[in-house]
Structure 1
Amino acid sequence: MFQQVLNWRTLLALLAILIVSGTVWYSSYLAKKIKEDERQKVELWVEAGTYLLNPANTDMEAMRVPSLVTTHNKIPIIETTEKDSIMQWVHLDSAKVEEGWRSDDKVKDPNKNSFLLDKLDEFRSAKLRVEWTDPKDSTKRNRYYYGESQLFKEVRYYPLVQLFIVGLFIFITIQAIRTSYRSTQNGVWAGMAKETAHQLGTPVSSLEGWVEILKETHGDEDFVPEIEKDVNRLRLVSDRFGKIGSTPQLDEKNVVGQVRGMVDYVQKRAGGKVSFAVQTKDEDVRAKISAPLFDWVIENLLKNALDAMEGKGKITVAINQSPTDVTIDVTDTGKGISRQNIGKVFKPGFTTKKRGWGLGLSLSKRIIDQYHKGSLTVKHSEVGKGTTFRIVLKK
């Protein structure tokens, strides 16, 4: 049990989770460090500005302050009074500031500039500010609201970008694996089908020869036509398997005629307690199909319906057409399919019957979806009342 769970896929998934988690944690750690550093820079900017405004500071240190104030950081800052009235700002987009002035504002009051007010609200809501109190007048306090630097934004959004890239990589990998799996599965299906057709070919040819001999020697016997029918049936089965894996030729056929032929064939072998009905508004409904493969699908659906009804009930085949599509609904009054099994009915090997390989519906879906470019789905099913399978063909 432990070895089944701890396979290479599980280890790869755990490793990916650890890598992403570690990266997210380290990015959060860096963002926190940068945030603390930027606050220190703003505080230093405030102190430097205060130092510069003091007329008593005329030494060499004061000469370095302008450079410190303007180039030490690129953090956007808005200076306000204690009542949040804007006084000045730095490192904001000058073009957007110009756009924020009202056309009728001749004085250019910063407290009427829409861009500055929006930025102030943004910085205030983020609770990023430093307060400065005048050491000579404690009632005079300025506030310095600041925003996130470009570096901080890049570090903060880096985990999201990385998660997107990792998610995209995982999606592409899964799609590639699924495509590879389907290609392998198709190869297996085609190989099995062709090998089956090859193995049936020799004995069927031999049986056809023996039937011809029987027709010459015992042509009047009743059993000879029946044997011939069974041999022809074997030849049809062999031909069907031979067409799996290769691109079949699609010819325009009357779908109603094809369906009625298969209904008649199955009805003769169904017993008297099962009734059949073919419903259609038009007896000439045409679509491009491979007749042997299409008949195989209809036969599989009808036999599947018979098995679900356990020898008694009704099977209805409704055929409708639109300008673009032909729809064929095969409905039975059998035991139905439970909700948890509806998604599994077309998977190879799935069956609820005591006998059978669980390949009939899977093969049928492959024939309709891949070879006819249509669709085969479970339209409706209710436990105890029956099931409807729907085939849609392009006209």
Structure 2
Amino acid sequence: MLAQLFNFRTWIAVIAVAIVTGTVFYSNFLAKKIAVEEGQKVNVWVQALKTRAETTEKSALDLTNIITSENKDIPIIETDENDKPSGMVLNLDSALVKKDSHYVYKKLAEFKKQHKPITIEISTDPLIINKYYYGDSDLLKQVRYYPIVQLIIVALFIIITLYAITTRNTSTQNQVWAGMAKETAHQLGTPISSLEGWVEMLKESEVSNSISVEMEKDVNRLKLISDRFGKIGSAPKLEDYNITEQVEKMVAYIKRRATDKVNFVVEAPPSKVITKISAPLFDWVIENLLKNALDAMEGKGNIHIKIRERPGNIVIDVTDNGRGISKQNISKVFKPGFTTKKRGWGLGLSLSKRIIEQYHKGQLYVKSSEPNKGTTFRIVLNT
């Protein structure tokens, strides 16, 4: 799948580069051809202007008038031999010519960079020479800018195509994850129901009551896991809960499974912190973050959970003083399958991010992390 996707993207890029390259070369060819033709037109225009000044024949004058009047797109500035504008300008913005005294000089400097002037000798005694500087027509400018416009269009086409492919693949991946979660919940349902029956029978028998109590705890745990997986892929029902109570409940659960060398601290406002959540899924997120912190500390250290209520949202920071996350891995920790542990599938943080951001419309991200000093994960929930 990845190889096919890579090949498809490569072919798109190759075709796009070929199109743009061909367009650039052809546009340059056209631009040079138009530039030569415009130079010839200006030269004919200048010669017609000279002929009109030297002749009195009506037919010649009529011809030169036709030639000089046909130039409606090539801008021209007439100067003396010292490059001082004589006042004759053609195809420039007349409003700017009148308004800005420096406008003609600016255009003259621009024309000097584009083409060499065409000169004519007005008289020999005294020697008078006029120069005619000309610039590019609008057509020539459009031909030169066309490859840039096409490059932008092709780039947008590639971006939209790749975005569509990525979105489609992400959607397919999400459907696969949701399907796997629901199938897991379905498969767990049958043995859980059976275990519940056996627990009830044990309670009625002469077997030690402590055994049935412990088995009931494990069965309830399995039911909770099944419920969590069953909610993946469908819109969960959000209800008002006290966030502090939910966090403290999960801390108590994890604390029983941690060593005495791990110190848990929950810092929360004195009043209730209420917002709408799916309790089973939210508990799963806190459990994943706490387990992740325990793994990072390797059995000893401090875990600090700070809950704050701000205008419009609730912020929960889960901080440990474990081994931290390297800079190159911070952007990868939420990707499915990424893990630095020897065991595990690398799905805990990925599922947690999905639960918070897709189902609760909040945020889950790495607030800060430093190797060998610890990590802080931040949850932001809207109120």
TM-score category, normalised to shorter length: over 0.9
Choose which of 174, 184, 189 in structure 1 pairs with 2:172: 184
Matches within 5 A, 1:24-173: 24-55=24-55, 58=57, 60-72=59-71, 74-87=73-86, 88-100=88-100, 113-126=101-114, 129-134=117-122, 136-137=124-125, 139-173=127-161
Mapped partners of 1:212, 1:128: distance in 2: 102
1:281 is aligned to 2:269: yes
Matches within 5 A, 1:289-300: 289-300=277-288
State the shift of 1:129 in Å.
Answer: 2.8
1:209 is aligned to 2:167: no
1:316 is aligned to 2:315: no
Q: Secondary structure at the match of 1:335?
A: coil
Matched AA of 2:149? V
Residues 218 and 224, structure 1, Cα contact 8 Å, conserved in 2: no
Matched AA of 2:300? K
Range with bigger deviation, 315-324 or 84-93: 84-93
Matched AA of 2:62? M
Mapped partners of 1:5, 1:215: distance in 2: 58
**Counterpart in the other structure of 2:22:** 22
Residues 331 and 387, structure 1, Cα contact 8 Å, conserved in 2: yes
Specify every segment of 5 or more residues in structure 1 that has no aligned partner in the other structure, as ranges.
Answer: 101-112
Range with bigger deviation, 322-331 or 216-225: 216-225
Question: Structure 1 residues 125, 246: CA separation in 2 closer, same or farther (over 3 Å shift)?
Answer: same
Q: Which deviations, in whole Å up to 9, do the C-alpha atoms of 1:35-57 show, x marking residues without a partner? A: 222222212211111112112x6
Matches within 5 A, 1:373-392: 373-392=361-380
Residues 128 and 147, structure 1, Cα contact 8 Å, conserved in 2: no
Q: Which deviations, in whole Å up to 9, do the C-alpha atoms of 1:98-137 show, x marking residues without a partner? A: 545xxxxxxxxxxxx4543443343345455323334735
State the shift of 1:294 in Å.
Answer: 0.2
State the shift of 1:156 in Å.
Answer: 1.2
TM-score between both structures, scaled by the size of structure 1? 0.91
State the shift of 1:175 in Å.
Answer: 2.1
Q: Secondary structure at the match of 1:7?
A: helix
Matched AA of 2:170? R
Mapped partners of 1:5, 1:258: distance in 2: 43
Question: Structure 1 residues 39, 138: CA separation in 2 closer, same or farther (over 3 Å shift)?
Answer: farther
Question: Structure 1 residues 352, 6: CA separation in 2 closer, same or farther (over 3 Å shift)?
Answer: closer
State the shift of 1:280 in Å.
Answer: 1.7
Range with bigger deviation, 91-100 or 199-208: 91-100
Residues 314 and 382, structure 2, Cα contact 8 Å, conserved in 1: yes
Residues 253 and 286, structure 1, Cα contact 8 Å, conserved in 2: yes
Q: Which deviations, in whole Å up to 9, do the C-alpha atoms of 1:219-244 show, x marking residues without a partner? A: 75212111100000000000000000
Range with bigger deviation, 341-350 or 19-28: 19-28
Mapped partners of 1:219, 1:129: distance in 2: 111
**Counterpart in the other structure of 2:340:** 352
Mapped partners of 1:289, 1:219: distance in 2: 40
Matched AA of 1:14? V
1:364 is aligned to 2:364: no
**Counterpart in the other structure of 1:339:** 327
**Counterpart in the other structure of 1:9:** 9
Question: Structure 1 residues 90, 289: CA separation in 2 closer, same or farther (over 3 Å shift)?
Answer: same
Mapped partners of 2:4, 2:236: distance in 1: 41
State the shift of 1:61 in Å.
Answer: 4.8
Identity of aligned residues (%): 57
**Over aligned residue pairs, what C-alpha RMSD do you find?**
2.1
Matched AA of 1:41? K
Matched AA of 1:264? A
Mapped partners of 1:184, 1:304: distance in 2: 28
State the shift of 1:358 in Å.
Answer: 0.5
Mapped partners of 2:206, 2:123: distance in 1: 127
Residues 41 and 73, structure 1, Cα contact 8 Å, conserved in 2: no
Residues 31 and 152, structure 1, Cα contact 8 Å, conserved in 2: yes
Specify every segment of 5 or more residues in structure 2 that has no aligned partner in the other structure, as ranges.
Answer: none
Matched AA of 2:357? D
Residues 279 and 319, structure 1, Cα contact 8 Å, conserved in 2: yes
State the shift of 1:184 in Å.
Answer: 0.9
Mapped partners of 1:59, 1:323: distance in 2: 88
Residues 50 and 120, structure 2, Cα contact 8 Å, conserved in 1: no
**Counterpart in the other structure of 1:107:** none
Mapped partners of 1:124, 1:274: distance in 2: 79
1:225 is aligned to 2:224: no
Residues 9 and 162, structure 2, Cα contact 8 Å, conserved in 1: no
Matched AA of 2:332? K
Mapped partners of 1:161, 1:128: distance in 2: 29
